[in-house]
Structure 1
Amino acid sequence: MKLDSTEEKSGVGRSLPTEVSPPALQQAFSKILHGLSRQESSGQGNAGNAALRDLGALIEATECDKLFEGTGGGGSPREMPEILGQVAKALEKFAAPKEKADGSEEHPEVPEKATEVGLLFLKLLGKVETAKSSPVCPAWKTGLRHLSGPTYIFAITHRLKQPWTSPKSQHVAGEVLSLLFRVTECSSVAGFLCGENEDDRGRFAVVLGLLKPHLNKETWKKNPAVKHVFSWTLQQVSQPWLSQHLEKILPPSLLISDDYQTDNKVLGVQCLHHIVTNVPAADLLQYNRAQVLYHALFNHLYMPEHRLIQAVLLCLLDLFPVLEKALHWQGEAARASTHCHEVLQLVLTHMEPEHRPLLRRTYARNLPAFVKKLGILTTRHLKRLEQVILGYLEVYDEPEDESRLKILETLKLVMQYTWPRIPCRVVVLLKALLKLVCDIARDTIPTTEAAKSAVLQEATDCLILLDHCSQGQVKGLLANIALSCEDSTVVSCIRKVQGSAEAPGEDPGDD
């Protein structure tokens, strides 16, 4: 069969010699690299497919000593390992998904290419594994050092379910990752990236170096897999290894989080959260990094996307201690909670008119953490908190009524921390809680029985705590209701409140 023009120019597809000399081996690899690059630039698959076939044949026909050491001529002994590294990079790039001009997320051509490339990586790693047991080929370590980074990126790109993977390509990628760990003698991803002993420095820096050209403003969307590889890899590395790479991981994380697509924003914020929790505060405060993070996260709170709000609030709660430490060092202890106040004020502003269930649930889920964080300083937000609590208690959240359960938890915390301010609010809060108990008793709330039971228990606890804060006012107000009410559920709740007793000398805030 006649070769196409691309194959003729590159020399791909010609028969390989049975005995390959070192210079001829280098030339053969160069032609294969040329064939892969031709396919990348022209979009024609013939040259690339032929290059993959020839590469497989070349790897099988070449002995380990020649594959890792053979150079010939006046060449350096390091030339072949470096060429193998170039081949590995070309293979990883060949199998990577590309951005579609029409914005489509489907990549039907990628799984087949990834499967073929994965088999080649298995052959290369198989040669390394054979060389490890051979006393005549000590250079396998150098070869593995050049192969490990691109091999890892390929495996992580294709091992999980994505628009560019298939069950077969995922299986092959998983085998590649397992064999890579075996030949590098690593028991886990963290061990591979960070090293498993003092002599092993790990390969995190190598992986970041390979990803860096694809993680700038102009290139990061050309390969849709890069952001996932970066995010997943980043979250496998914890302290103390992460801080030394801060300059390499922070800019891409901020870049991804600043995208217009919600999925990318969430992914970027998750990366930032991992950085905040695994980098020492001193490093985050250097060069004003913590403030940059805070402002980037705070701006996301204006986006009405529940997944994004959830990720941002969790990250901010872990960032507050870092920001407070900076103020403490500056002798500004009185302003230690400034950032938390600012965020809670904005959250309450958004909560009050919010009607979308997912957002209401997200805000309510995180509100108790802010009250715990501020403690007695919650009094600054008491008026707004009261309005939010009353409004959220009126609306059920089927099927588990999560919003109201979290609001009741918030109310308990507010009463514990700000109990001297509660007596003047007894009537308003008592009416809201009794209405809630009556709604549950009448079975007008379309939630599960477990949810109704949980809400009733939380409401009863709130009534008991409200009575403690008001020094028994609630018991007096409930006395006549217990005599006239015919609903057993409501009466049972009132009896529990009346039967509760506050320990002598005990403040509600001590609960």
Structure 2
Amino acid sequence: MELDNAQETPSQEDSSLCGEISPPVLEQAFSKILHCFTGPEARRGNARDVALKDLGDLIEATECVRLFEGSGAQLRGMLETLGKVAKALEQYAAPPKEEEGGGARHSEVAEKAATVGLLFLKLLGKAETAKNSLVGPAWQTGLHHLAGPVCIFAVTHSLEQPWTTPRSREVAREVLTLLLQVTECGSVAGFLRGEKEDEKGRLSVILGLLKPNLNKESWKNNPAIKHVFSWTLQQVTRPWLSQYLERVLPASLLISDDYQTENKILGVHCLHHIVLNVPAADLLQYNRAQVLYHAIFNHLYTPEHHLVQAVLLCLLDLFPILEKTVHWKGDGARPTTHCDEVLQLILTHMEPEHRLLLRRTYARNLPAFVKRLGILTVRHLKRLERVIIGYLEVYDGPEEEARLKILETLKLLMQHTWPRVSCRLVVLLKALLKLICDVARDPSLTPQCVKSSLLQEATDCLILLDCCSQGRVKGLLAKIPQSCEDSNVVNCIRKVQQISEGAPYDGT
């Protein structure tokens, strides 16, 4: 078969003979199709559509052995061209920049993805057939060039995103399933890291393909890139991730440093995954942990509760790593830690905060900080007392999440700092009694189970307070059952009084 100049694509008649053509001629045919996607004529309206049809015909008409036969430079050249075609197809189906009318073109992108996905299924089907034939190891070389672009395509279109439809997601998931089958991998994680100890995974190849689109100037040109990077990163865990740290950390920091809250949250999730799955020694090297801390800490000044939640969870896992370098010799005051710094900022934000979602977010994470600092929480005791009393006074909606978490915080605070609690007896006792009375008489739609939880937690706090004050709470509450008519309040008081002096209590 004779092929015309590189400006043309193979005709259907030529394609029907592809089962008989030699690898050099087949490589030329793929090169012409590649030129239709990357050359000047790619801008013409139907040039790529025609190339897609011709490529499908070419793949169908070519025997699997023809795609993977040959040796040396001849075979490598053909397989490299095939890999470039796969990369061009992946880029052809990629969603456009948002400012280029991305929303209006999402349906068009989904159609392209479905078409490209079917082509990838055909290519992978040929590789699966070749794997079981007498072609030898050539199919593995072919997969080396195909796997990266095919995986990026599958991840881009299998996740639920604005540019996908049920049909395009279904095709993309079929592509990913077949890719794992052909590569003999039991999971995506195995595909990326390698199924065996001595086997090299494909993560390095995929990161190499993503790298040109993950720099400061270009990472927003394709809105799918950040999701592909994040999803891929989170499939690889300890101990495999550490060898890729230099390649994944800059991109994660870049995404987290964006002005859009959505991107900040995505970047913080990536950084959190790195913190959890990279050894502390690697994070401490070259001051990486400090860089992480300062990049994440700055997000605490934003009023977005989803972002604050992601940041606090990440910081709580980063503290043990940062504090590995802090050593107390016992000859003076313990040095303040990063946990102290973050808790101080949180308490500063909590006192005047009136937005319920942020109040709940702060309260949800406060117990973990008290657990982390332990007895050192006494450094923040005055401000914690003000925050606890202030939050106990405010109704928090039907679920009462903030007040329940504040009560949990108070219990932990009394457990860890009990020598300092007795001098705050009157203030804390008044706040707890007021809460019990408010909840008992609450006419709102708060579920009874939530009210019961609040009353039980408040009662536990009273019992702890009594233990910390050597039984003084019992004496102060002695006359309340005689004058109070509310059965719920009386029941709580009696539970406190029933704890005999000296009896062990599991909360202390």
TM-score, normalised with respect to structure 2: 0.94
Map of 2:411 onto structure 1: 412
Amino acid at match of 2:37: L
Residue deviations 1:364-393 (CA, integer Å, cap 9, x gap): 000000000000000000000000001100
Map of 1:14 onto structure 2: 11
Mapped partners of 1:374, 1:307: distance in 2: 24
Change in Cα spacing, 1:261 to 1:53, as seen in structure 2 (3 Å) is same
Change in Cα spacing, 1:460 to 1:387, as seen in structure 2 (3 Å) is same
Mapped partners of 1:97, 1:235: distance in 2: 22
Q: 1:193-342 counterparts in 2 under 5 A?
A: 193-328=192-327, 337-342=336-341
SS in 2 for 1:483: helix
Residue deviations 1:70-95 (CA, integer Å, cap 9, x gap): 48xx9533111111111111111111
Map of 2:422 onto structure 1: 423
2:69 is equivalent to residue 55 of structure 1: no
Q: Percent identity?
A: 70
Map of 2:500 onto structure 1: 501
Mapped partners of 1:469, 1:332: distance in 2: 29
Mapped partners of 1:458, 1:45: distance in 2: 68
Map of 2:37 onto structure 1: 36
Q: 1:83-162 counterparts in 2 under 5 A?
A: 83-101=81-99, 104-105=102-103, 107-162=106-161
Mapped partners of 2:173, 2:416: distance in 1: 52
Residue deviations 1:438-479 (CA, integer Å, cap 9, x gap): 111112344221111111110010011111111111111111
1:200 positional shift: 1.7
1:325 positional shift: 0.5
Change in Cα spacing, 1:319 to 1:333, as seen in structure 2 (3 Å) is farther
Map of 1:67 onto structure 2: 67
Asked if structure 1 preserves the Cα contact closer than 8 Å seen for 2:41 and 2:47, the reply is no
Mapped partners of 1:471, 1:168: distance in 2: 69
Mapped partners of 1:89, 1:189: distance in 2: 20
Mapped partners of 1:108, 1:87: distance in 2: 23
Residue deviations 1:159-196 (CA, integer Å, cap 9, x gap): 12110100000000010001001011111111111111
SS in 2 for 1:185: coil
1:333 positional shift: 10
Amino acid at match of 1:10: Q
Mapped partners of 2:123, 2:385: distance in 1: 66
Change in Cα spacing, 1:260 to 1:144, as seen in structure 2 (3 Å) is same
Amino acid at match of 2:11: R
Change in Cα spacing, 1:146 to 1:334, as seen in structure 2 (3 Å) is farther
Map of 2:179 onto structure 1: 180
1:41 positional shift: 6.0
Mapped partners of 2:6, 2:396: distance in 1: 67
SS in 1 for 2:149: helix
Mapped partners of 1:330, 1:123: distance in 2: 67
1:24 positional shift: 2.1
TM-score, normalised with respect to structure 1: 0.94
2:504 is equivalent to residue 481 of structure 1: no
Amino acid at match of 2:49: N
Equivalenced residues, count: 500
Change in Cα spacing, 1:39 to 1:122, as seen in structure 2 (3 Å) is farther
Amino acid at match of 2:308: I
**363-372 or 337-346: which moved more?**
337-346
Amino acid at match of 1:65: V
Change in Cα spacing, 1:14 to 1:40, as seen in structure 2 (3 Å) is closer
Map of 1:3 onto structure 2: none
Which runs of 5 or more residues in structure 1 are unaligned? 1-6
Mapped partners of 2:428, 2:139: distance in 1: 74
